[in-house]
């Protein structure tokens, strides 16, 4: 069975849910999750400057992350396992400013999300998961930033019951100390 690329732009401008090329047979599957030419033919400009991978245990929340300067667009895919992927619009001129959208990404559905510049990104690992990030700009640690995953002003419904509740969430020290949405807007106003 062959699945060709499909692109679905969400209500958040520039945020795409993408089904990549996937060929399955009795041996397993073969996936092509990025092609500059195919993306460009579909009206999407995404050049890949570097690629990262993360492995997360069940219950890990990574995020919500962004770079304040040298903003990165990210093509995010769950290679193995299962994640609930979240994007928050921080672009002050956007009609979806301060709104969030969530996506089920896993090895079975092979879907990926193109996170536009000016948005925060994070995910909850529902199983042990390996995630790839194809970034448009190289990581700049001096501009690395983020906001709290559970900020009440944003109000993300993470579906924590799927991991046994909020007490099962695993955070890094860095992510535990992130600013609130209010602190972010007071400091920077948004993107």
CB under 8 A, 24+ apart: contacts of 31-35: 31/110, 33/75, 33/77, 33/110, 33/112, 33/132, 33/134, 34/75, 34/134, 35/5
Distance of CA 168 to the CA centre of its chain: 21
Catalytic residue among 34, 46, 121, 133: 133
pLDDT reading at 2 higher than 90: no
Domains of the chain: 51-188 (2.60.120.10)
- Confidence class of residue 86 from pLDDT cuts 50, 70 and 90? very high
CA-to-CA distance for 185 and 86, rounded, in angstroms? 19
Q: Is 7 helix (H, G, I), strand (E, B) or coil?
A: strand
- Confidence class of residue 190 from pLDDT cuts 50, 70 and 90? confident
pLDDT reading at 189 higher than 90: no
88-106: pLDDT as tens digits: 999 999 999 999 999 999 9
CA-to-CA distance for 171 and 145, rounded, in angstroms? 15
Catalytic residue among 34, 46, 65, 82: 65
Residue 156 is predicted with a pLDDT of 98
pLDDT reading at 168 higher than 90: yes
- Confidence class of residue 54 from pLDDT cuts 50, 70 and 90? very high
Q: What is the pTM of this model?
A: 0.96
pLDDT reading at 1 higher than 90: no
What mean pLDDT value characterizes the chain? 96
Task: Tell me which H or E stretch contains 39.
Answer: helix 36-41
Residue 30 is predicted with a pLDDT of 94
Residue 149 is predicted with a pLDDT of 98
Residue 87 is predicted with a pLDDT of 98
Task: Tell me which H or E stretch contains 8.
Answer: strand 6-9
Q: Is 34 a catalytic residue?
A: no
- The torsion defined by the Cα of 54, 58, 61 and 66, in degrees rounded to 10, comes to 20
103-147: pLDDT as tens digits: 999 999 999 999 999 999 999 999 999 999 999 999 999 999 999
Q: Is 65 a catalytic residue?
A: yes
CA-to-CA distance for 28 and 69, rounded, in angstroms? 41
Residue 182, token pair as written in the block: 């209010």
pLDDT > 70: percent of the chain: 100
Residue 44 is predicted with a pLDDT of 96
Backbone angles phi, psi at 162, to 5 degrees: -70, -15
- Angle at the Cα of 113 from the Cα atoms of 154 and 82, rounded to 5 degrees: 85
Residue 170, token pair as written in the block: 């695993």
């Amino acid at each position: 069975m062959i699945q060709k690329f499909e692109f679905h732009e969400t209500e958040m401008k520039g945020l795409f849910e993408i089904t990549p090329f996937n060929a399955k047979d009795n041996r397993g599957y073969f996936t092509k999750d990025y092609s500059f030419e195919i993306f460009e033919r579909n009206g999407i400009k995404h050049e890949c400057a570097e690629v990262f991978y993360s492995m997360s245990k069940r219950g890990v929340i990574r995020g919500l992350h962004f770079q304040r300067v040298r903003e990165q667009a990210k093509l995010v895919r769950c290679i193995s396992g299962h994640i609930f992927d979240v994007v928050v619009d921080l672009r002050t001129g956007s009609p979806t400013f301060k709104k969030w959208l969530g996506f089920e990404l896993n090895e079975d559905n092979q879907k990926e999300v193109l996170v536009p510049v000016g948005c925060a990104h994070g995910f909850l690992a529902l199983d042990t998961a390996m995630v790839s990030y194809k970034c448009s700009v190289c990581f700049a640690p001096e501009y690395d930033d983020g906001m709290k995953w559970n900020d009440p002003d944003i109000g993300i419904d993470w579906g924590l019951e799927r991991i046994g509740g909020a007490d099962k969430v695993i955070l890094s020290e860095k992510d535990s100390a992130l600013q609130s949405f209010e602190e972010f807007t007071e400091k920077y106003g948004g993107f």
